[in-house]
Amino acid sequence: MKFSTTLKALGLTAAVALSPLMASGAQAAGTLTVAVAIDPGSWDPIDTFLVDWSSAANNIYDGLTARGADMKLKPALATSWEFLDNNARIRFKLRQNVKFHNGEPFNAAAVKFTFDRLLGEEGRKGPQQSNYTSIDRVEVVDDTTVDFIMKQADPVLLTKLAGYGAMIVPPKYIQEKGDAHFNMNPVGTGPYKFAEYSPKVSLTLEAFPEHWGGAPKLDKVVTRFISEANTQVAELQSGRIDVATLIPFGLAPTVEKSPNLSLLSITGPTVVSLRLNTKEGITKDLDVRKALIMGIDRDAIIKAVLLGHGKPIASFQADLSFGHDPNLKPLPFDLAKAKQMLQQAKVPAGAPVRIDFRGNDATFREVVQAAAGYLQALGLKPALQPHEPPVLLNDIIPNGKTGEAWHQSWGGWTFDYDNNAYLMYHSGEKWNPYYNDATLNALLEKQRTIYDVKEREKVLQEIARYVADQALEIPLYNQNTIYGVNKRVKSFDAPADRRFRFTETTVE
Amino acid sequence: MAGFILKRLLQAVFVVLAVTLIVSFAIRLSGDPAIMVMGGGNVTEQDLQNIRQALGLNRPFYVQYLSFLQGLFVGDFGKSFMGGTPVSLLISQALPATLLLAFASLLTSIALSVPLGVYAAVNRGRWPDQLIRILSLVGLSFPNFWLAIMLVLLFSIVLGILPPSGMEGPESFIMPALTMAIILTATNMRLVRTSMLETLSQQYIMVARSKGLRDRVVLYKHALRNSAIPLVTYIGLQFGNLIGGIVIVERVFNWPGMGTLAFDAISNRDYPVLQATITVLALFIVFINLMVDVAYGLIDPRIRTE
């Protein structure tokens, strides 16, 4: 997007020059205002996959489990759980005396209703059902006990119960008011209750003092929908929002230099790589793939384009991810060696390398231009092909119409390597149009049946090593999650997955 | 006059039909809404099928289009693919926001361009004329998003007196309307000047002057009214362009209007929202053109009698 790059450049220059003069606006005490990019349109947990939904709705709802900013799993609406019948049945003891915002009691029936809805007709119309298909059904044992009957093993289930589609919803309310009403007037058990929703403008939540975890410290949380990053930064600078979630790397220094703002740059879930075509083109050859990895200086790209807000990766996952292996190192940057390897593989000078990428991603556009520069230095002939995301995601990649390489950006909120690896490398998956390897398939299937944490971690690490050995992609970087925060905000626990929970947060 | 209006209304129906058909067809040429709904994550072909079924996308194109038309007649635009919000609700919020902004921009532009244009014409060739013409060239050359950002920097960040985005009080209109107006003014002013110059050279103006009428009366009662016709036509036509240009301005100022709605609908492949937005805008532009024709009659009695 030329428009947006120009905006960024102009905004950056001018904002840096003028930021010391900045005036600060006034904000109501006890009200925290957060800006996110997209209005999900519905606040029903089963209707969306958007992180922006969770940034707000994680305050409205609770799951059986919860995961805080420290990324550790802890009990929430379930106080304990045990695995029975050889892991085919998971029994949850539920928290007592919990009420929904409308006064309706939370109990085993509510859990059953939530999952019947998610796994049934209603859930089929939305994107969340597919994440929970390992559950066969939920059975009520007594008012405070439920059993999850599993269709297949799912070692990531407990994490998945902490968010999105698994958030517990009120049965009576939904049955009486209907789905359309619930979409626009959500009710949960969380620390903040719904107050007002104006589509495409804002969502206002109010404190729910009877929350089982104790009353939240803020009176109100307002979420505003602002899709232009420069506008979010302008709103942040003028003190009208407290937390901005859309800060391009180029604007990070502007926020950093503002006296009333702080920039939080933390490890996030998003990893970016250039996947390689193993079926056609020069990338068919393993040594060529390795040469391409070694020929691109990923550290330099992180420093120059991401301005340091990212980390090199050896496998397609963040270091917070379960399955990350600190001992696995990426292939080093070595232009001479890479050239030599290409020569040995008899790659002719000027061999084409076409890279398909998302054209609306301004940061990646710069990244891929830098990468193309390195490929040129290797004597290859890179061609950059931008696509509109729906075209790239729905046609070019799944139908195997890519060039030698394509842009893959991925960030599963579960922080489990399974979520990335299975979908990227198992044969027949939508995101894996070319590669089919029985050994890798077997490993990927095996880890999905193992509940033993240590054992499963070992298999996941083995997968990452295998993928690195086969050089299925050029692992570029794990990009940071960046927040711009007004200094009047205190006790803000910045979560890596952007699922805010403002129970302890206060504003001055 | 009534027959004329009726005829124009019938034409409008065909214009709107053609526009909706083209838009509905074109948006379906690329991308799949199902994958936008699913987020492109952990999806199987079966999931996509389920979504397409739920959204009614597995029906043939003409069935989908006809059911959209059917909805139009009963005032039901359907539901957004994203979150199932009723489209009529989205439009009922976005349309007033855009219209208010468009009218504010036009009014600002008229208020600026008419006096400046008249002044330039009266002082033809002298320094006020030159200055105004240079300023108008500068105004024409501004890209509107750049202007928007500069205004935000000045008024929101440096001076801290105006909100950088959103539609809240009257103060939030100032920057977006000014952004649109400055660019409109540049062209409108040149038009007023040219039109005035032409009128001022007419014989009836000479007659009016020789009758001993005061300069002010000659200028505003005789000359300006006669020069207004091309201006009214142009402003009417400009409305269409205005709506087009408003997309970018709405985006920069996070204005909850039709431009934002259409922009998001295109990127999400949200067919119902896009079709409805375009239909409403097309209707509106047709309506404005009709109003322009009616306005001619009011300004120029000769047209009324014909």
Over A246-259, what HEC string results? CCCHHHHHHHHHCC
B176 lies in a domain? yes
pLDDT digits (tens, 9 = 90+) for A367-395: 999 999 999 999 999 999 999 887 888 88
Lowest mean pLDDT among A167-181, A188-202, A284-298, B69-83: B69-83
Q: Please name the residues in contact with B131: beta carbons below 8 A apart, sequence gap of 6 or more.
A: none
Question: In angstroms, how far is CA A306 from the centroid of its own chain?
Answer: 18
**Which residue in B35, B89, B165, B263 has the most chain A C-beta atoms within 10 A of its own C-beta, making it the best mutation to test that interface?**
B165
| Crossing angle (nearest 10°) for helices B61-73 and B271-299 | 50
CATH label of the domain that carries residue B285: 1.10.3720.10
Alpha helix positions (H), B28-60 = 33-38, 45-55
B172 lies in a domain? yes
Q: List the domain range (segments joined by +) for residue B246.
A: 87-305
B93 lies in a domain? yes
Report the pLDDT averaged over residues B148-156: 90
Residue of B nearest to A45 (CA): B83
| CA B119/CA B213 separation, integer angstroms | 19
Instruction: Measure B98 CA to nearest chain A CA, in Å.
Output: 14
- Residue type present at position B188: N
B27 lies in a domain? no
Q: Please name the residues in contact with B126: beta carbons below 8 A apart, sequence gap of 6 or more.
A: none
Instruction: Measure B170 CA to nearest chain A CA, in Å.
Output: 17
How sure is the predictor about A345, in pLDDT bands with cuts at 50, 70 and 90? very high
Which of A15, A199, A226 lies at the smallest CB-CB distance from B85?
A199
pTM score of the predicted model = 0.87
Q: β-strands A73-75, A65-67: how paired? A: antiparallel
CB neighbours (10 Å) of residue A117? Answer: 20
Report the pLDDT averaged over residues B98-120: 89
Q: What is the DSSP letter of A332?
A: P
Whether the Cβ atoms of residue A223 and residue B116 lie closer than 8 Å to each other = no
| CA A468/CA A328 separation, integer angstroms | 9
All residues of chain A having their beta carbon less than 8 Å from the beta carbon of residue B40 are: 393-394
B30 lies in a domain? no
B48 lies in a domain? no
Contact at CB, B38 and A49, closer than 8 angstroms: yes
pLDDT digits (tens, 9 = 90+) for A170-198: 999 999 999 999 999 999 999 999 999 99
ipTM confidence: 0.84
B232 lies in a domain? yes
| CA A287/CA A284 separation, integer angstroms | 9
Q: Report how far apart, in Å, the C-alpha atoms of A428 and of each of A129, A321, A434 are.
A: 20, 24, 9
CB neighbours (10 Å) of residue B127? Answer: 8
pLDDT of residue A112: 97
Structure-token pair, residue B267 = 């990127």
pLDDT digits (tens, 9 = 90+) for A307-343: 999 999 999 999 999 999 999 999 999 999 999 999 9
- Please give the tally of structural domains in chain B: 1
Whether the Cβ atoms of residue A467 and residue A423 lie closer than 8 Å to each other = no
B26 lies in a domain? no
Whether the Cβ atoms of residue A418 and residue A445 lie closer than 8 Å to each other = no
| CA A387/CA B267 separation, integer angstroms | 12
